[in-house]
Amino acid sequence: MSRALKFRDGFDWRRVAWSRPDSPTPSICSYCFGPLPDVPLMLFREDNSALSLCDACVEEWITSEVA
């Protein structure tokens, strides 16, 4: 049994600030621009651009489902 992450309804992808593929990973939340925890949730695109989410945004916008 595996789990898949899913974004809740209302998540606005237009607000996400992706890092550039050749830049360091983000040091602030890519959605609310708040501080990140020591181990943030990070997602990467195939081109190596990344987003990092703080714990509050993960709690508000991410859910997991059994796949």
pLDDT greater than 80 at residue 1? no
Q: Each residue of 5-25: pLDDT tens digit?
A: 999 999 999 999 999 999 988
For 46-49, the CB contacts below 8 A with 24+ separation are 47/21, 48/21, 48/22, 49/18, 49/19, 49/20, 49/21
pTM here is: 0.85
| Residue boundaries of the structural domains of the chain | 3-66
